[in-house]
Structure 1
């Protein structure tokens, strides 16, 4: 009888080991975030099409410690990388290669499309006009599952340090049911992917929408959270709206002051501002004692 149970236990341990191996994850989770967190915004938006697999792999090549990305939910309940809730005509082409007409600028809503429809749009051949250095290439909006697989394969292939995944839930109360599901469902679908891929110890969930962070705190308290801030309210006011102390306080970089950094550290939070694209600003923020930076140009980290 004991032999039977030992055999079953061995089989379960082997299965868990194989699962971890398939995802190319290291055997143990890091105890804490990097001492200074170098985050590639939407991968490397200044260099390659945003929120795509090539952009994330480029960021890895540039030795970021964290891959920052945005996610939405599709009609068929899959988690897809995208900042905009619809196909942005500024840098997305229709499946036939033509531009999206101005009249249809917000027509192709991701939450109202199955992923096989989303996959057909070209999310990279038309360069984003805001980023003249961006290299255009034909690519698509990937599923989070596919992105994780591609990243973990590259980590193993090139023997790279395990990166963190900073995943933003794109939601707000005014667009529940139109651009995205309500927070509880959004978080459930996202965390299903995170847990399936075994990356929870390396995940940060960030949002401007305190509701998704509150769901995470209640249901997945072990997951790291980051509160995104772009308002002029005080640190205390923003934390009061959230209702708990997140792992990271992540303000727009121009809102950072010595006092904000000091007060955040006093509450046990790291400060990681967004989105810093000038080397001089990066250097100034580093001198203020921030714990990391989010940038569209991760190649600038090499100059810090």
Structure 2
């Protein structure tokens, strides 16, 4: 693995990190700092170095996305295909936008997937992201690498926010149908992870409903990017999840307070700019998902 990561410990990774009161929070607020796809503002997204970097910084939770290989293994990937914006093919050539869907992860073995480089392309949105040749990892590899790093550095356990990426149009084409997909993830997390330190999240409410009905012990986060009211989304879901996780611009102080009054934690995404981080902290959110967890940690430690 070619990387220039320095394993300098600057955080403890403790379960909760206190934040000093703002003008809108009278009591000490506890913020769950989540590294989005690891720390993709700093290192290539959803790669082992990005997750290790997030742990090194001191996040409380690692946020990641899942896809499924042809062998029904869980791959850490935001798209169920090799995106043109991110990947070079097995011969280190560019992938065209028109052709990216043909690089379907659900139709590829992991040996084939490992030949794609997802760390060398320049990402305009993250101009200072460190670059190196690296492949998409299996979820099992991420968990093993993080556990090893935690053990070696005598750090507290870290939490996981695991997103199941699916939509009706992709069923049996880019991923399994919801019941099979949910079972694959459940079988892994119950056999290889501490389920008290994770939650499952999804934009696909079919997944969340299946978990709620069949695996009620697993904490759930409803991902939301639509402009429907919170009440409408909760009615569609049919139950109150443990976490409501929407695009931060869909929230305000009153909405956060209303959700929390229902016993639902509020963890918005993806909050990157210091002024926006300060704003959502002022609303009293329970956590923040950020491409730059270092910025969140810096603000709440001052």
- TM class by shorter-chain length? 0.7 to 0.9
CA–CA distance in 1 between the matches of 2:248 and 2:154? 33
CA–CA distance in 1 between the matches of 2:51 and 2:81? 21
Pair 1:70-2:65 in alignment: yes
The correspondence of residues 4-153 of structure 1 with structure 2, limited to 5 A, is 35-153=30-148
- Is the contact made by 1:206 and 1:226 (CA closer than 8 Å) also made in structure 2? yes
| Greater helix fraction, Structure 1 or Structure 2 | 1
Q: What is the number of equivalent residue pairs in this alignment? A: 273
- Is the contact made by 1:127 and 1:135 (CA closer than 8 Å) also made in structure 2? no
**Unaligned regions of 5+ residues in structure 2, if any?**
1-14, 17-28
SS in 2 for 1:148: helix
Tell me the CA shift for residue 84 of structure 1: 1.0
CA–CA distance in 2 between the matches of 1:262 and 1:157? 40
Of 202, 209, 224, the residue aligned with 2:219 is 224
Deviates further, 272-281 or 109-118: 109-118
Structure showing greater radius of gyration is 1
The correspondence of residues 206-225 of structure 1 with structure 2, limited to 5 A, is 206-225=201-220
- Is the contact made by 1:90 and 1:129 (CA closer than 8 Å) also made in structure 2? no
Partner residue, 1:240: 235
Tell me the CA shift for residue 131 of structure 1: 0.9
CA–CA distance in 2 between the matches of 1:192 and 1:127? 36
Deviates further, 112-121 or 283-292: 112-121
- Is the contact made by 2:83 and 2:97 (CA closer than 8 Å) also made in structure 1? no
Tell me the CA shift for residue 204 of structure 1: 0.8
Deviates further, 270-279 or 210-219: 210-219
**Unaligned regions of 5+ residues in structure 1, if any?**
1-29
What stretches of structure 1 move > 2 A for 4+ residues in a row? none
The correspondence of residues 278-293 of structure 1 with structure 2, limited to 5 A, is 278-293=273-288
Task: Output the TM-score relative to the length of structure 1.
Answer: 0.87
CA–CA distance in 1 between the matches of 2:124 and 2:102? 21
CA–CA distance in 2 between the matches of 1:216 and 1:35? 27
Cα distance 1:268–1:103, how it changes in 2: closer, same or farther (>3 A)? closer
The correspondence of residues 151-230 of structure 1 with structure 2, limited to 5 A, is 151-230=146-225
Task: Output the TM-score relative to the length of structure 2.
Answer: 0.87
Tell me the CA shift for residue 102 of structure 1: 4.3
